[in-house]
C-alpha cells in the first residue's frame, strides 16, 4: 500500500499580523493553528514534517514539547521561497517512506477534516500524480487555468502575472502529490521557477510543468467557507473564534 506522509510549511513570521511569534502558533479557540493541522493530518501521518524559519524553530519546538507532540522540524535557513521550502523535505527522516506527500500551508486555520480526507481519497483512487483543493471565489489571487475539457493546465499567481484578482477558481494551499516526480521538477531550472515579482523560488509553477510532461493532475473544487479561512491578519480568524 502506498505510504502517505505530510509536510506543513510553517516558516511564516507573523509580522504582517503584528505577531512576535510564528503565525502558525496563533491560537484559535485556545489551540494553535499548527496543532489544529496536526489533528487533521493524524490519520495519515502521526509525525509530520514542519518547515520552520531559524527564528521560528525554538517557539515551535517549545509548543510541541508542552503538548508532548512529536514532529520533525526542518529549518529553511533563508526565506528563498516555497519551492525551496518544500525541497527541505529531501532531508527529512520521512523522505524514504513518502510515496505521496500531503503539503499544507501552515496558516490553514479553518481546514476541515472532510476536505482533507476527500482530497487524499480521490488522489489515491484516481492514481493521480498531483491533486489539490480549490474554491470558486470573488477575488482569486491564484487562478486555476483549465482546458476546454476541464483538465488542469496551470495555476497562475496574479502578482506574478501583474493582473488584478478577479472572480475565479483558486487553490487553498492544500496539495497531495507523488513525492519523487514533484521534487524532481522543483530541482530543475524550469521557466517560471523564480518569480519576477518576488525573486523567490515558487511552488505553483510546477503544476504547469507537471501537466506538460503528461503527469495526471486534478483540481478538486470542494473547499467550503471554513476551508478558505487562513491567517494574514488576526481579523481573518473572526469567523472561527
Map residue 195 onto helix, strand or coil: coil
d(CA 230, CA 171): 12
How far apart CA 236 and CA 232 sit, in angstroms, is: 7
The label of the residue with cell 525551496 reads 84
* 203-207 mean pLDDT: 97
**pLDDT higher than 80, residue 203:** yes
Distance, in Å, from the CA atom of 121 to the CA atom of 183, rounded to the nearest integer, reads: 22
Q: How far is CA 160 from the centre of its chain?
A: 18
User: How many whole angstroms separate alpha carbon 8 and alpha carbon 31?
Assistant: 17
**What pLDDT, in 10s, does the model give residues 59-112?**
999 999 999 999 999 999 998 999 999 999 999 999 999 999 999 999 999 999
Q: CA 199 to CA 202: how far, in whole Å?
A: 9
The burial of 125, by beta-carbon neighbours within 10 Å (0-12 exposed, 13-18 middle, 19 or more buried), is given as: exposed
DSSP one-letter code for 180: H
The residue among 185, 7, 175 whose CA lies nearest residue 98 is 7
Q: Which secondary structure element, helix H or strand E, spans residue 168, and what is its range? A: strand 166-178
Q: Is the pLDDT score of 234 beyond 80? A: no
In the chain, domain spans: 4-234
The C-alpha cell at 53 is 524559519
What does each C-alpha distance from 155 to 113, 126, 151, 174, 209 come to in angstroms?
24, 21, 12, 13, 11
Residue 175 grid coordinates: 496539495
Residue 1 pLDDT grade (very low, low, confident, very high; cuts 50, 70, 90): low
Choose the CATH number for 4-234 among 3.90.1150.10, 3.40.228.10, 3.90.550.10, 3.30.200.20. 3.90.550.10
Query: In which band, very low, low, confident or very high, does the pLDDT at 231 lie, cut at 50, 70 and 90?
Result: confident
How far apart, in Å, are the Cα atoms of 201 and each of 68, 191, 240? 34, 11, 32
pTM, to two decimals: 0.95
Residue 115 has, within 13 A of its CA and on its CB side, a CA count of 25
Amino acid at each position: 500500500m502506498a505510504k502517505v506522509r505530510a509536510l506543513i510549511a510553517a516558516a511564516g513570521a507573523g509580522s504582517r499580523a503584528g505577531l512576535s511569534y510564528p503565525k502558525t502558533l496563533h491560537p484559535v479557540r485556545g489551540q494553535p493553528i499548527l496543532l489544529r493541522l496536526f489533528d487533521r493530518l493524524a490519520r495519515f501521518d502521526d509525525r509530520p514534517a514542519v518547515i520552520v524559519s531559524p527564528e521560528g524553530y525554538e517557539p515551535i519546538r517549545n509548543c510541541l514539547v508542552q503538548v508532548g507532540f512529536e514532529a520533525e522540524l526542518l529549518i529553511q535557513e533563508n526565506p528563498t521561497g516555497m519551492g525551496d521550502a518544500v525541497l527541505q523535505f529531501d532531508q527529512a527522516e520521512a523522505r524514504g517512506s513518502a510515496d505521496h506527500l500531503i503539503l499544507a500551508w501552515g496558516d490553514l486555520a479553518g481546514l476541515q477534516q472532510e476536505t482533507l480526507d476527500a482530497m487524499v481519497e480521490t488522489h489515491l483512487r484516481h492514481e493521480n500524480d498531483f491533486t489539490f483543493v480549490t474554491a470558486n471565489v470573488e477575488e482569486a489571487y491564484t487562478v486555476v487555468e483549465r482546458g476546454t475539457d476541464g483538465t488542469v493546465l496551470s495555476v497562475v499567481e496574479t502578482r506574478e502575472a501583474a493582473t488584478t484578482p478577479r472572480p475565479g477558481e483558486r487553490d487553498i494551499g492544500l496539495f497531495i502529490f507523488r513525492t519523487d516526480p514533484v521534487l524532481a521538477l522543483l530541482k530543475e531550472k524550469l521557466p517560471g521557477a523564480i518569480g519576477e515579482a518576488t525573486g523567490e523560488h515558487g511552488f505553483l509553477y510546477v503544476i504547469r510543468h507537471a501537466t506538460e510532461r503528461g503527469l495526471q493532475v486534478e483540481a478538486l473544487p470542494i473547499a467550503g467557507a471554513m476551508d478558505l479561512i487562513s491567517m494574514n491578519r488576526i481579523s481573518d480568524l473572526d469567523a472561527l473564534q
